[in-house]
Structure 1
Amino acid sequence: MYNIKNSKELASYINYANLNNIISEEEMKEFLEKAKETTFHSVVVSPTYVQLAKETLADTDIKVGSVVGFPLGFEDTESKLAETKTLLDKGVDELEVVINLSYLKDKKYSLIGKEIEAIKELMGDKILKVNIEVKALNDAEKSAIVQVAEKAGADFVKTATGFVTPCHIYEIVNDINIIQKYAPKIKIEIFGGVDSYKLANQVLTAGADQISSNYGYEIVKQYKELRENTQVKPKPITL
């Protein structure tokens, strides 16, 4: 079992995501206010709401993440670089970039690597996550792309966009094992299907560094109710 000490520590491993493409500004404000109630590592929002998130979370330590080439990744490198620059100008702290899966299927690893390198160079010391959409790949393709991502300087591999069927825990463990074996220096972020404290604990125990989830608030609340709000009054011991 992963040795999580309290709900604040658990929240620090979670990126609370809301990439709903039909969410209203009022609904996004409610989401961000909810995020402020705990200590998430970050919120992940669409480019539309990066500035609002920066303003709302300005008095917290919660980072603001967003997406480039989302959710399909088939934009050309110049377009992705332009998206990246715009989001950096808005003050984004972290970015996830969806790879071009067509390039991967054709084994055009050099093109993918050069794209990642160019985006990372533009981002400097800010965190770059490369989204590889594991459900679309076989194990050989997964092992190849994580090596490319690590060599190109990405900080994280992220497993999914959320636009495909979530992986089962056994698939998640398999993916973590592949990443750790073939790209041992890169960090791992799991997205998809992590909607409970129990599953979050299993994923962290398996070796993930972070979890991205639309259910981040519920996961932390569940943990708090199970672990921190349980009051036990021990009976006196008579010797």
Structure 2
Amino acid sequence: MPQITERELAATIDHAILRPELTRADVDAELDVAREWGVFSVCVRPSDVAHVVARLAGSPVAVGTVIGFPHGTTSTAAKVAEAHQAIVDGATELDMVVNIGWLRSGLDAQVVTDVERVVDAAGGRVTKVILETSLLDDEQIARGSRLAEAGGAAFVKTSTGFAGGGATVDDVTLMRASVSDAVQVKASGGVRGLATALEMLDAGATRLGTSASAVILGELRAVLAGEAPSGAVDASSY
């Protein structure tokens, strides 16, 4: 029987509400899901932050947003401006996309500065750096993780979910090995079921980015209630 509780798993989840086609009604429906399942936070589009903060007032669910999303190619100044506005609107966590072209080009100093400037703008709030691992080789993933830490990031994150690939166990393991214990790892993209979620946690992730929170937590609830087989899910180490 799995030892992780529903509350413990929910506390690792950033519920993603980022698809560009979502209407305000769609966003509100997803906020209801996040509140119902008690996830750690929602990660929403920058233009939704103020609305989401107001709608989740009184709820323990934190509000995060994205910076330079989804390609990371906006200027550093633009990322800083986005960060400032997100904070004014009430965001408490920022998930910024690394400048992928700079990272692939070996422009390490520029990458660090890009991260540093957003971290400074965040004013002590949690900043996560998205590497977009599906576009990188192992050397670039490891180096990008180290550069994110050098820039002051609290987390390194695998993916936006918008680049045709997502988190893998190998990438999470590599990222965990590439940074110090002061930096955490967020697995995002393709985390759509309980088994995958637990694999990512076992590989060293401490946060999960997913739009499938209800599916993942519902599967765990069914397993814990004895309503679903636990053989495919090994959570005994949690």
Fold-level similarity (TM above 0.5): yes
Contact between 1:2 and 1:205, CA under 8 Å: does it hold in 2? Answer: no
- 1:9 to partner: Cα distance: 1.2
Partners of 2:67 and 2:160 lie apart in 1 by 11
Give the corresponding residue for 1:130: 129
Partners of 1:187 and 1:3 lie apart in 2 by 22
TM-score in terms of structure 1 length: 0.90
Partners of 1:205 and 1:98 lie apart in 2 by 25
Deviates more, 1:46-55 or 1:172-181: 172-181
Letter in 1 for 2:102: Y
Give the corresponding residue for 1:55: 54
Give the corresponding residue for 1:18: 17
Q: C-alpha offsets along residues 17-52 of structure 1, whole Å, 9 cap, x if unaligned?
A: 010101111111111112111221100110121112
Q: Does 1:218 align with 2:184?
A: no
- 1:184 to partner: Cα distance: 2.4
- 1:229 to partner: Cα distance: 6.2
Q: Does 1:65 align with 2:61?
A: no
| Structure 1 counterpart SS, 2:139 | helix
Contact between 1:2 and 1:201, CA under 8 Å: does it hold in 2? Answer: no
- 1:173 to partner: Cα distance: 2.0
Give the corresponding residue for 1:208: 205
Partners of 2:172 and 2:2 lie apart in 1 by 15
- 1:2 to partner: Cα distance: 7.7
Give the corresponding residue for 1:178: 174
Give the corresponding residue for 1:76: 75
- 1:215 to partner: Cα distance: 0.3
Letter in 2 for 1:206: A
- 1:228 to partner: Cα distance: 3.2
Contact between 2:149 and 2:179, CA under 8 Å: does it hold in 1? Answer: yes
Give the corresponding residue for 1:156: 155
Contact between 1:11 and 1:38, CA under 8 Å: does it hold in 2? Answer: yes
Partners of 1:225 and 1:149 lie apart in 2 by 38
- 1:140 to partner: Cα distance: 0.7
Letter in 2 for 1:199: T
Q: C-alpha offsets along residues 158-214 of structure 1, whole Å, 9 cap, x if unaligned?
A: 1001012334xxx72221222222212311000111111111111111111111001
Letter in 2 for 1:203: M
TM-score in terms of structure 2 length: 0.90
Larger radius of gyration: 1
Give the corresponding residue for 1:99: 98
Contact between 1:19 and 1:46, CA under 8 Å: does it hold in 2? Answer: yes
Contact between 1:53 and 1:64, CA under 8 Å: does it hold in 2? Answer: yes
Instruction: Work out which of the residue numbers 187, 192, 209 in structure 1 matches 2:189.
Output: 192
Over the matched positions of the two proteins, sequence identity in percent amounts to 28
Partners of 2:119 and 2:216 lie apart in 1 by 31
| Structure 2 counterpart SS, 1:36 | helix
Contact between 2:186 and 2:208, CA under 8 Å: does it hold in 1? Answer: yes
| Structure 2 counterpart SS, 1:212 | strand
Residue 2 to residue 226, structure 1, CA distance change in 2 (3 Å): closer
- 1:3 to partner: Cα distance: 4.1
Residue 2 to residue 173, structure 1, CA distance change in 2 (3 Å): farther
Give the RMSD, CA atoms, in angstroms: 1.7
Partners of 1:77 and 1:21 lie apart in 2 by 23
